[in-house]
A and B are shown apart, each in its own frame.
Chain A
């Protein structure tokens, strides 16, 4: 009699632990799903149709000074006319910036300047339709310094460790990178790269 009582006591304690454990799983699961869902939605909604684009918020001081923008600062917008898309550009390519929109690689040139401007973004949020653009399509960057029209010259699919993409260029260039393949769950091991050149009168050096 005493033995069964002890046994059921142990069982009760065990049952309680299982209940706690399952509740903990549910709470943690909901928290993770909500948080990552929010993070995903942030990037997803950053992609706006062209006509609905909000006016660019750039501080007045930025216009006067030619200093490097701070990390996380909004520096402009990327327009893709072919996809009827407007995307915000933030300085920096850390997760904090890529979550909100397109990131500008800090060591690369600023839009409109000589050199290579590098913009990166997530393939499943801001650039989810990027495979719809190709050679000769326009990419337009608007910053406080003006609006710059680039035309795509080349589309490359390279490995994630390729070291020939983030390089200096003789002509003003815009390089857009994202992960590839586009519909792939998990860590995609390739990169989809668009190389576009600034449309401007010829200047041969």
Chain B
């Protein structure tokens, strides 16, 4: 009898412990409902959002804990604060999100939006950096865009290593104080860096001497033996391997003797390096063609067979007549 009583007491105690504890820690569902409806969510919205992070409502002990975890709902005020921080207008923000297939309505909490904006801005900055470097050399925006697209289209696996090697070779020139005082050997090295750079980027240059708008093509070999341009400018046109003009640059004799050619080379190498890195990422690529032609082909095949068969039987019937 005593044993039975003890067993019953134990059972009662176990039940009390296992049921009693979570009951005490449960958060008030009504309060939660009230809170989430303040930013237009239903209980289902909340549960689905929590499930995205492998969480349940029961994982939270208090409303404050839940609020803390969710973050601040987007309001006019904190949205404006975010826009100021990133120096964006609301239209620019919408355009930025649109570029990545999203809208402002996809976000409920300011922290989530901030994470996304940071990421997308950084991503676009890289592309901007390349364009900035190229325009610093003197390319127009159009030329910079064409060059960038050309670099992105290159199918060269070792491009990054090649460019890193060229970066090292150009470094000593950046420390030269008077670029007019380069030795013959240094000049040759600088030229060969440029040659290797253009060939690594699959750019074919054509050289012209220009005076008073008259341009005359010069073979590269002749150019090497020239001591002076004789008051003429050097025009370099850059083509891709298909022969499309990507960009051109016109250099005066002074520019050639100054440090310009070194700085331009460095910017070009860096632009290529960033471009090479970005090539590994998706840049709003075209979607794969998922149209399956097989069913149409099958129908075509069947139609062709029928056509042949009809022609054959009609011919046979006619010859039999």
Contact = CB atoms under 8 A, between A and B. Distances in A.
Interface residues of A, number: 72
B305 interface: yes
Contact of A29 (B118, B293, B307): B307
A186 B297 CA distance: 10
Contacts of B54: 199-201
B71 to A, nearest CB: 8
* Chain B CB within 10 Å, residue with most, of A43, A103, A124, A195: A124
Nearest to B106: A154
B199 to A, nearest CB: 25
A179 B213 CA distance: 54
Contacts of B293: 36
Contacts of B53: 199-202
B284 A160 contact: no
Given A19-B315, A28-B304, A122-B292, A170 B116 contact: yes
Interface string B75-101: 000000000000000000000001111
A164 B99 contact: yes
A24 interface: yes
B29 to A, nearest CB: 21
A107 B299 CA distance: 35
Q: Which of B290, B291, B307, B319 has the most CB of A within 10 A?
A: B290
Interface string B248-268: 000000000000000000000
B101 A170 contact: no
Contact of B282 (A93, A103, A167): A167
A107 B287 CA distance: 12
A29 B284 CA distance: 40
Interface in A150-172: 151, 153-154, 156, 158, 160-171
| Interface core residue of A26, A40, A118, A186 (most chain B CB under 10 Å) | A26
Given A136-B48, A151-B52, A29 B312 contact: no
A122 B308 CA distance: 31
A39 interface: yes
A156 B287 CA distance: 13
Contact of B287 (A24, A37, A168, A191): A191
Interface in B27-42: none
B308 A24 contact: yes
Contact of A164 (B98, B118, B288, B303): B98
Nearest to A34: B301
Contact of B51 (A93, A107, A136, A158): A136
B282 A26 contact: no
Contacts of B294: 36-37, 39-40, 43, 124-125
B292 A29 contact: no
Nearest to A108: B282
B292 to A, nearest CB: 4
Given A22-B311, A30-B305, A125 B292 contact: yes
Interface string A107-126: 11000000010101111110
A66 interface: no
A188 B305 CA distance: 26
Contacts of A162: 101, 287
Contact of B308 (A25, A127, A158): A25
Given A27-B308, A36-B298, A122-B290, 9 more contacts: A22-B311, A26-B309, A31-B301, A36-B294, A108-B282, A125-B294, A163-B286, A167-B282, A202-B53
13 contacts: A25-B307, A25-B308, A31-B301, A36-B298, A156-B101, A170-B116, A170-B119, A171-B115, A187-B291, A204-B111, A204-B115, A205-B115, A205-B118
The 6 nearest A-B residue pairs measured at CB: A25-B308, A33-B301, A29-B305, A29-B304, A32-B301, A26-B308
